[in-house]
Amino acid sequence: MGPRINDRIRVREVRVIDDAGEQLGVMAPRDAVDIARSRGLDLIEVAPNANPPVCRIMDYGKYKYEQGKREREAAKKQRQSEMKGMTLRPGTDDHDLDFKIKNVVKFLADGDKVKVTVRFKSREMSHPEFAQAALQKIVVAISEAAVGIVERHPLMEGRQMIMILAPSREGVKKPTAPSPPAPKPATPAASASAPVAPVQGTATAEAPAADAPAVAPTPAPAAPETASNGNGSSSSDTTSVKETEAATPTPAATAA
């Protein structure tokens, strides 16, 4: 049965809290209902055992939703103390065992304890190692998933072996792979057309333009060396006279 609302509240006076959480004081229920309806809301009795009863102005649909949410959370906390059961046989094949292991991991992840029971029949009692191998496989699976721990180790009770698993309070964090180092920025290659800075202390000649024709340098004429021979004539003049005389044939040579 839900709380009383609006005209169902039949007391002499109530303490009213509006939709913003502010107290409006103590008043008659009829006056509080008029205020709630003027705002398009309802008057809900939230604390009937108080003196005077406490009523709140709010939407009744929103109130029911919040109340249902609180009840679900309380039921979830209560359900965490439940124990699930899982039954095996020593000869359970790998496919069925893997399916049961997935269910065990799911139960532990939801916060439930799990009671794993291995039942023996007739001659199976002579080979408990098969049951121990199956239980060990379950322990390895929950350890890798980091969802549970062994609360009670396998123990023989008549014709069955029982192990109890509990959810782990603190999940084991899996190691993360280290991130690769950031690549170093590549050094830009020197451009062939980039200007070269001159070395301090040396002069640099400007390179000729690509379109200008190459001009061979004209050698400067060598100045003739003049040396005085003592009689006022230079040695260059004497050399010229001797060359002229050698080139001119003599009369004796012509007669011969």
Could you state, in order of their start, the residue ranges of all structural domains in the chain? 6-76, 83-167
Which CATH architecture does the domain made up of 83-167 adopt?
2-Layer Sandwich (3.30)
pTM attached to this predicted model:
0.38
Q: Highest-confidence range of 18-22, 74-78, 203-207, by mean pLDDT?
A: 18-22
Q: What CATH number labels 6-76?
A: 3.10.20.80
Q: Which residue has the tokens 């999940």?
A: 171
pLDDT per residue as tens digits for the range 91-141: 888 889 999 999 999 989 888 889 999 999 888 888 888 889 999 999 999
Cα dihedral 57, 62, 63, 67 in deg (nearest 10): -160
Quick one: pLDDT at residue 255? Answer: 45
239/241 Cα distance (integer angstroms)? 6
Whether 83-167 and 6-76 are alike in CATH topology: the answer is no
> Does residue 155 carry a pLDDT above 50?
yes
Average pLDDT, the chain: 74
Alpha-carbon span 139 to 237, nearest angstrom: 124
C-alpha to C-alpha distance for 248 and 256, rounded to whole angstroms: 15
Beta carbons within 8 Å of 22's beta carbon, 6+ residues apart: none
Confidence of residue 15 (pLDDT cuts 50, 70, 90): very high
